[in-house]
Structure 1
Amino acid sequence: MNLMQRGLRIHAKALKQAAGEPVIYFRGDALSASILAVVGQTIFEDVAGDGETRIETKTVDWLITPDELRKAVFRTEPQRGDQIRRNDFEVFDVVPGTSGKVWEWSDGHKTHYRIHSVRRNVPSF
């Protein structure tokens, strides 16, 4: 492991400790795991076919290390249809951004998945 990799691991650990929050990551009915994730957002901007109209889309993003998902028995990358539950009232569906991908690397060294999601409308009682 080189110096850059060591520094990135230290940074990832510090980020998770400082800004991470417990969430439950779901894949279907069979798999779920409690993990720590850092919440953020991405703003996607597209230009409509007329060339003048701009369409802005926001996603709630979750920074999760690949190791965190692997330890939690998820052997594959994040997938469309996965869910992230922040608490009893906030459920987020993993969806693709305008790039067509549900996740991207957060940096060039591939330290975190940046998983795109939208908040599901949960009825209030």
Structure 2
Amino acid sequence: MADLLRQGAQWLEQQRTTCCSSPVAYRRPPDSVTVNATYGKTDVEMADESGLTVRSHVTDFLILASELGFGPKQGDQIVADGRVYEVIYLAGEGPWRWSDPYRTTFRIHTKDTTPQSEP
């Protein structure tokens, strides 16, 4: 019998990529590749030096592993909608984690490093 859960998850990932993603440039100098990505976010909580809890979030990009073709690394860049995002190391997860149980989609953690224009 076919693995219906796996087939369903793969179908959903393909639908997400087809219907809910945009082309982005994934850069690992000197190379750049165009892939389809969906925006996401991961909430993070950390204590500062005085013991106060700081809550924030990082911008994630969901990209099919087969489309990217290699594992994301800290320092890589994703250029999307005119903004530059740098792949960062997230404590406890690293620069990425699998977004699904069948390991078809990377959830890549980034921070926006686009230079701010002066007013």
TM range, smaller chain:
0.7 to 0.9
Q: Which residue of 1 aligns with 2:32?
A: 32
Q: Give, in whole Å, the separation in 1 of the partners of 2:67 and 2:19.
A: 16
Shift of 1:122: 1.9
Contact 1:23-1:37 at 8 Å conserved across structures: yes
Contact 2:72-2:108 at 8 Å conserved across structures: yes
**Unpaired runs of 5+ in structure 1?**
71-75
Q: Give, in whole Å, the separation in 2 of the partners of 1:98 and 1:56.
A: 14
Q: Which residue of 2 aligns with 1:63?
A: 62
Q: Which residue of 1 aligns with 2:46?
A: 46
The count of corresponding residues between Structure 1 and Structure 2 is 117
Kindly report structure 1 stretches of 4+ aligned residues shifted beyond 6 Å: none
Q: Give, in whole Å, the separation in 2 of the partners of 1:124 and 1:44.
A: 27
Q: Which residue of 2 aligns with 1:93?
A: 86
Same amino acid, percent of matched pairs = 27
Shift of 1:18: 1.7
Q: Which residue of 2 aligns with 1:16?
A: 17
Q: Give, in whole Å, the separation in 2 of the partners of 1:20 and 1:40.
A: 11
**Unpaired runs of 5+ in structure 2?**
none
Q: Report the TM-score when normalising by structure 2.
A: 0.87
Q: Which amino acid aligns with 1:17?
A: T
* Structure number having the greater strand percentage: 2
Q: Give, in whole Å, the separation in 1 of the partners of 2:96 and 2:87.
A: 9
Q: Give, in whole Å, the separation in 1 of the partners of 2:9 and 2:49.
A: 41
Shift of 1:61: 0.1
Q: Partner of 2:9: helix, strand, or coil?
A: helix
